[in-house]
Every structure is written in C-alpha cells, then in structure tokens.
Structure 1
Amino acid sequence: MASSDVNVNSQKKMKMMALILMIFTSVFGFANMPRSFYLMGYGAIPWYILSGLTFFIPYAFMMAEYGAAFKNERGGIYSWMEKSVGPKYAFVGTFMWFASYIIWMVNICSTIWIPFSNAIFGKDVTSTWGIFGLNSTQTIGILGIIWIIAVTFTASKGLEKITKVTSIGGTAVVLLNIVLLVGALIVLAANGGHLAEAVTSTQSFIKSPNPGYQSSIGMLSFLVFAIFAYGGIEVTGGLVDQTERAEVTFPKGVTIAALIITVGYSLGIFLCGIFTNWNDVLSTKGVHMANAAYVVMQNLGYQLGQSFNMDQAASLVMGAWVARFVGLSMFLALTGAFFTLCYSPLKQIIEGTPRELWPGKMSEIKDGMPINAMWIQCIVVVLFVALVSFGGDAAAQFFSRIVLMTNVAMTLPYIFLSGAFIAFKKKKEIEKPFEIYKSKASTWIATIVVTFTVGFANFFTIIQPAVDGDLQDTIWMIVGPLFFAAVALLMYARYDRTK
C-alpha cells in the first residue's frame, strides 16, 4: 500500500490515463506478490480476483461518491462519517484508521531492517544481529525504537525534502516490476517453457504448498492479505474534483485501474512460480513473510545467472546484487512513506475533529506539524515495539505476528466507511455531484458485500491461529484494534462531559 499527495489547487484536470496511474501508484505494492506466493503459491490468484470483485471495485466507487460530496472538507474521512452518521461513530472509525498507521509504524520499525540488510549484504542477515548480549529480535526492537525517535525528531522540524526520497523509491519499485516480468520470461525461455513450480492440475490454483495455509480456515484467512494488497483505494476519493468529466471518466478510470491491478497482482504471483520452486526455495528455515520478497527476487537473480550459463558462484553473486537492488528500492520507498505517515494521518485527524477532543496542547499545530501529538505517537510506538520485541518469541513468529496485526488493524476502518455509506445515501441534504449507486438496492448490495468481505476475512484471520492451537497469536491480533477503539471511546466520553 502507498500514499499519494495531490495538488488540490491545480487548475489542470486529470485525464483518464493520469487518473489510472494515480490509482495504480496509490494501491499497487510490489512485495505483496512474492509474499502471497510464499503464503499460498498459485492458490493466491483466485483470492486476489475474488477480493477485487467483492471489495476493491465496489469500495472504490463508494470512496468516489464520498469524495465528490465532501470535496471541500478538511477533515477527510472523519468529515465523511460525521456528516453521514454522527460525530462519535466518525471519531471511533477515524481513530481506528489513525491507529492502523501506528500499527503500521510498529511493523515498519522492525521490518525496515530487512531491506536495509539486503541492500548492504545482498541477503537477510537480521536473524544473526545482536548487541549487548541481546538476541536478534530484541536488537531489531532497539534499532526500531531509535528509528522512530529519529524520524519523529526530523519530521517535527517541518522538513519536506523526504518527498524526493519517496519519488526515487517509487521509481525503483516500478523498475522492480519490470525486472520481475522480463527476468521471469528470460528464465522461462531458457528452461524451454517449463515452470519451476509446476502446474499439475486445477488444484495448483486452489491448494497452498505452505502447510500453514492448507486448511479451509487457513485458505479463507488469506483473503485478508488480498484485501490488504488493495489498501489505499480511499485516496482516490480525493481525486474526483480534479478529474476531467468526472461523472464519466472517474468510474471508468477506477474500473480500468482495478482490472489492471487485479490482473497485475495475479500475473506477478504466477511469474514468481516461473523461476521459484516453493519447496526448494521457500520451505527452508529462516524464510518468513517479512523477507519472502527478497528471497524470491534473489532466486530470480540466481536463475537468470543460470540461464546465461554462468557458473554457480557467478549466479549467486548475481542473485545477491538483485537482492541488493530490491533491498535499496524497498528501503527508500518505506523511508519516504514512514516520514509522510508519521505526521499526515495525525494532522488530518486533529484538523478534522473538535479541538476539545484532544487533551492539553495535543491539538496544537506548529509550522504545519502537530508536534506535541507526534511525540505522544512516538512514545506509543516505542512502547509497542518494546513490548513485542522483548516478548521472547523467535524472529519468524515475531515478524508474522506484527504483519498479521497490521493487516487486521488496517482493514477494520474499511468496515466503518462502508457501514456509513447507507446513511450517507439516505441524507438528501448532502449534495452528491455524481452517483454510481443510483438505486437503493445497489447501495445495500454494495454495502453488504464490502462489509461482509472485510469482516469475513478478518474473522477467519483472527480465529485461524487459535484453531491451530496458537491462542497467543489470536490474542495479539485482537489486542491492537480493541485497545485503540477503547481509547477512542474514552476520549469521546471525556469530550462529551466537557461540552
């Protein structure tokens, strides 16, 4: 998932191609493809298509309608829900959305060292890191704490140079997709059209080679990963008023972009199987969700070397350099995103909501930055990183748990937004410049399908570890979102008393 800033004051309207590219860069995430291949093999493809049809496209149209109706509101999604349902619902939903970025930051504080390691060493060696007698998980936790403090300190100064890093990282990730496509086709040609991960029957597109995702519940829980891969589509709601002939161009652009992204993800997962045999490459010790992308791409480099008749040593060197390129690209992209997201969601929630909701001087904006709130946010992230890092788990379990926490927390706000859509449509006083869901039936069907898809995916993701006997993982996935929902309700109750 990526985020994009658009110049609202721009006089020039976006044409179809510009809109499609904007949606693509906001949504499409390179690492989702190799990570999905690691979890489900070719079996990931049907889930991406299903979640595209039941979540991505109908949800994008909802965001388009919201964005058109509230294009002049500063509060973003808070204003959408507050004017549709009410302030308490809006605050809890928006706070959950904001909280999901806190979970995202906890995730990135720990996992950003994997691309860093790949950029420097050509492979993930984070499991061997240790300082002052601490194990690798604890060491990465300490590095993460230093990282969030350094980023908060720099961002609080109002520096905007980080956008250059973001654009460099974004360009590098586009190049990664080209390397994946061209590289896979070269390997396919060199192997005489034989796939490394053979397609034996239709079961290859249903059953996962990963033992953890072979049960019915395991397969269903993968749906949340597919939904997470489509995250960021709410950004498109803010593009409506900047689109040429929006009532025609926008729904068409969203549909085309959604189809390209759905096909792109499915194709990318299939390309991974051209040069990666799951059992040979991904079943080995030390491979987990956070480093799967680097392992797969390092293997692409190795297989390319073999295709060019290089010896084993030269092929391994080529694999290491591809891994370095992936690591550097992802590190730059994540760094840019981290700097933006450490203040952007926080600034939006503070500017959109009543000042009285925030205790003390938390709502103060200095030099365009909510500095006090940023430091409180930093303390919360530090506490979370410390709590998870020093919990005594092995590195693979630690990374898997954080990724799962992020996926669940980031998809829950979608339920709030889709749940408010019926109330939004019922309010005749809200001017709606264009509508995609023109009948009551289409509104209800879209709302039920989107809400059910996200709820269903999260339910199975949460219960899967408990069914497999790992109750601790289930508890961790519930704790994050529940904690922030409780904080939101307590803050709103306090605000209610002081009104």
Structure 2
Amino acid sequence: MVESQSNPKKMMWTTLAMMAFSTVWGFGNVVNGFVYFDGTKVIFSWIIMFLLYFVPYALMVGELGATFKNAEGGVSSWVEATMGAKWAYYAGWTYWACHIVYISSKGTGGLRAMAWGIFGNTLWYDSLPTAWTQFATLVVFLFFCWVTSRGIQVLKGLATVAGTSMFIMSILFIIMMFTAPAINPHANYYSINFNWKSLMPTFNIKYLTSLSILVFAVGGCEKISPYVNKVKNPSKNFPKAMMALAIMVMISAILGTFAMALMFDPQIVNKNLNEYISNGPYMAFQRLGEYYHVGGLFMYIYSWCNVIGQFSTLVISIDAPLRMLLGSKQAKEFIPKKLLKVNKHGAYINGIWMVVILSGSLIAAQALLPDAQSVMAQLVKLNSTTMPMRYLWVFAAYIALRKQQAKFETSYQMTKSQPLAYTAGVWCFGITAACCIFGIYSPDSFTLFLNIITPIILVALGLILPAIKKHEDVAILD
C-alpha cells in the first residue's frame, strides 16, 4: 500500500512521445523548410538533421532529466549542478535573452494572422508603410506587457488550447492534402519528381546560412525533461519514446514537404521568398480549402487559431523566461536588486520594463525595412540565429555531467561509453554553434547588421549585470 502511494501511476512511453511531438513540432517548420531549401531538396537535410542531431539531442536531454529529476529550473538547474552557480546564471540569461527576438516576432505574427482572419489576405496590410505596421506592432506589444504586469492569467490558459488546435491542424493538413486528389482530381496539382536531382540539396552559401532554420525547428525537447521519471521503466522506455518522437517528426516533415510540393512550385517560391516566408502557411490552407470546395474555411480556422496562439505565447514569453531568470537562486547573487522588484500582482515590473526597452527597440528599428513581409522574413531568420543559442547549455551541461559521472545517480543513460557520450555532446554543441554563426550572414546589409548587433547587445548586458550587482554590494558594505 505504501509503495503504491509513493510510486504514483506512471505514463506509457507512447504518451510521452505524443506530448513531446506536440511540444517540438509545428506546421510552420514544414513551410520554412520547404521555402528555405528549394522544396523537396529539404528532405535530405531533414533526415540528416534528425539522425545526427535530433536523436542524440533528445537522448541527452533524457539523461539530464533522469539525473536531476527533482530540479525545477530545467537547463539552469542542470548547469548549476554540473558547472556552478555563475554558469547557471549565464544559462538562465541566455534562455531569457533569446526570447527578446522571439517576443518581437509574436506581435508581428499575431497582426499578420489577424489580417488573414479578417480580410482573407494581407494585400492591404502589406501595402501599409512599414512605420505604420511597426507602430501597430509596438502598441500590441506594449498592451500585452501591461497585461503581463497585471498578472492576468486568461491568455495563458488559451495558449494550451491554441497550441493543441494548431498541432491538430498541422496533422490534418498533411492527411487532407494527400486525399485531395481523390476528392478533386481535376484541380491544379504539381507533379513531384523523385529523382536524385530534386531530392539532393545544393551545398552553397545559402544552404549553410539557412541550416539554423532546421536546428531551430527541431530544438526545444528539453521542455519534456520533467517527465523522464514519470515514464514506466525510464531506462528502457524513455529512449523508445524519443525514437518514436524522431520517427514521427521525420515522417511529418517528409510527408508535409511532399504535400507542399503538390501545391507550390519551388521556382515561384524562390522568386517571391519574403511573401512565402510570411504567408506560406495561410496560402497552403487557402489552397487546401479550394481543393475541398470550401473556399477559405480552413485558412480562416488556422488564422484565428494562430491569432490566439501568437498573442497568448507573447504573454507567456514575456512572463515565463523572466520568472525563470529573476526567480532563480542565482538572481540575488548576480542581478541588481532593482530588477528583482515585484509589484502587487506578483510581476517583475522592472524586468518587464527591460523587455519593453529591448524588444521595443528591435520593433522600432525594423520600421527601416521596406515592407511588412521583409520584417516577418527577417524575424524568422533572426530567431533561427538567436534561439538555438540556448541549446548550447544543454550540451555543455551534458559534457560536464559525464565528466563527473561518479558524483550523480541516474535511472537512465544514453550510453555507458564515455568516449561516445563526449563525442555526442561535443558534436551537437559544435553543430549548434556553427549553425548560429553561419545563420548570421545575410546579403541584406541591414539584416546582417541586426543579426550581429542583437546577440552582441544581449551578451554584453548579461555580462554587465553581475558587475553592477558587485558594485551594488560594495556600496552597501561601504
């Protein structure tokens, strides 16, 4: 009886695999892969990315999660246990700083989704001067910063609903697209060539500088680490769940790419790159509705799911990373006291002001771009360059864990071979770092400038805060 109380019911490995799949994967990843990598030529890259990066990444997360099963701070807790408090602060800072760009993109994405949901296209929205669209984005961003400061919870609950519905829409798109020719055989479909030339990528500068898009797409599985020890027999079933996850994501990516290939000609996509980066998912659902003789129905459903998803994620992205950073054990040691101020609603008010200044500045700077489509395309690229930087700490923590293997007990190990474990950790760290660095390049000088200056400012600020805190402590002693 005692055993049953202390050992609650464990979840099946299939349940964990589905949870991870809905967390990691989305329809936007399929579209971005198709657009950036010349249609079906992305399939080779997807397969290599899954086998040589995603699978070891997921298994390393499993080992870290199983070893530090009671740690609530995620990656920061892993880094603190293996590398020390100061490195844990830098890990927490990186996780927060990466969200500065992400936050900027949510307002832009939400307004674009709203334009599709109201007008059925973005012709009017894209024709507006960029200063106007960025002003509207800034107003939306400031409103949701206010919502966050007031501790309003309603949108956070909607995020789960929106996320689930978007996941379902992504799966339905693939199924419905492959059944469309049977429903409407006379519609205009493109033929797919399964020859070597149409499936192998062209290894050039564009290819190397776009790889960060794929790394960004498959990252984030560390979010499921708290569930490692909630699976029956984790040493056996967790890797099984991760392999199932990798297979499901790979199948979704490949079938989704073929579904897109039936709809869009890569040559036309390449000539209108910004338009397809900005509007690709909506155009796909619009065309799917035409195949099923329901007009824009699917596009409107997708658009409004995305409106809710973008704006609710905006609130969570302002609030959650900030709480993880300022509410951590390292905060009192490395972050100035003023930033730790909490208002009567329990929100880190000065931290929110820091978000306002940094994300607001990025939103304002993008008013210099020629149009709203350019803004969206730039944000996708900037996100793919900055967001994977947080994955580096996963691999650093894993390498440090294996170096101190005797200190820790775990219910699961990716491999018992130390050389293989080190190789996997260093390999994934190197791939992530290389993709982030290559992803900075852009033929557009302003985009290149933002890609360089944004990480520099965020890293510099992360280094300056502990110095301010140290000065603050000295002043108190004096």
TM-score using structure 2 length: 0.89
Tell me which moved more, 119-128 or 377-386.
119-128
Residues 93-151 of structure 1: CA deviation (Å, up to 9, x unaligned): 32122111111001112222111111111112354454xxxx1x222211221112211
Tell me which moved more, 422-431 or 365-374.
365-374
* Match in the other structure for 1:4: none
Q: Distance in 1 between matches of 2:67 and 2:273?
A: 52
Partner AA of 2:336 in structure 1: P
Q: Distance in 2 between matches of 1:23 and 1:78?
A: 20
* Match in the other structure for 1:19: 16
Which of 419, 429, 442 is equivalent to 2:396?
419
| 1:101 and 2:77 correspond | no
* Match in the other structure for 1:202: 196
Map 1:100-499; keep pairs closer than 5 Å: 100-125=98-123, 127-128=125-126, 130=128, 135=129, 137-189=130-182, 190-191=184-185, 196-199=190-193, 201-207=195-201, 216-279=204-267, 283-284=271-272, 287-305=275-293, 318-352=294-328, 353-366=330-343, 367-389=345-367, 391-427=368-404, 428-463=406-441, 465=442, 469-496=443-470, 498=473
Change in CA separation of 1:164 and 1:79 when aligned onto 2, cut-off 3 Å: closer
Which aligned segments of 4 or more residues in structure 1 are displaced greater than 6 angstroms? none
Q: Distance in 1 between matches of 2:269 and 2:191?
A: 10
For 2:286, what is the secondary structure of its paired residue? Answer: helix
Partner AA of 2:261 in structure 1: G
Residues 35-92 of structure 1: CA deviation (Å, up to 9, x unaligned): 3222220111111111112221111122222222223234322221122123333322
1:288 positional shift: 3.7
TM-score using structure 1 length: 0.86
Native 8 Å contact 1:186 1:304 kept in 2: no
Tell me which moved more, 253-262 or 330-339.
330-339
Native 8 Å contact 2:98 2:387 kept in 1: yes
For 1:13, what is the secondary structure of its paired residue? Answer: coil
For 1:362, what is the secondary structure of its paired residue? Answer: helix
Residues 454-490 of structure 1: CA deviation (Å, up to 9, x unaligned): 1232233223x2xxx4343223212222211111111
Native 8 Å contact 1:92 1:485 kept in 2: no
Q: Distance in 2 between matches of 1:194 and 1:203?
A: 24
Change in CA separation of 1:197 and 1:276 when aligned onto 2, cut-off 3 Å: farther
* Match in the other structure for 2:85: 87
Q: Distance in 2 between matches of 1:496 and 1:85?
A: 21
1:285 positional shift: 8.2
Native 8 Å contact 1:123 1:320 kept in 2: no
Q: Distance in 2 between matches of 1:346 and 1:160?
A: 16
Q: Distance in 2 between matches of 1:241 and 1:322?
A: 39
Partner AA of 1:333 in structure 2: G
Native 8 Å contact 2:212 2:435 kept in 1: yes
Identity of aligned residues (%): 22
Question: Which runs of no fewer than 5 residues in structure 1 stay unpaired?
Answer: 1-8, 208-213, 306-317
Q: Distance in 2 between matches of 1:224 and 1:92?
A: 22
For 2:292, what is the secondary structure of its paired residue? Answer: helix
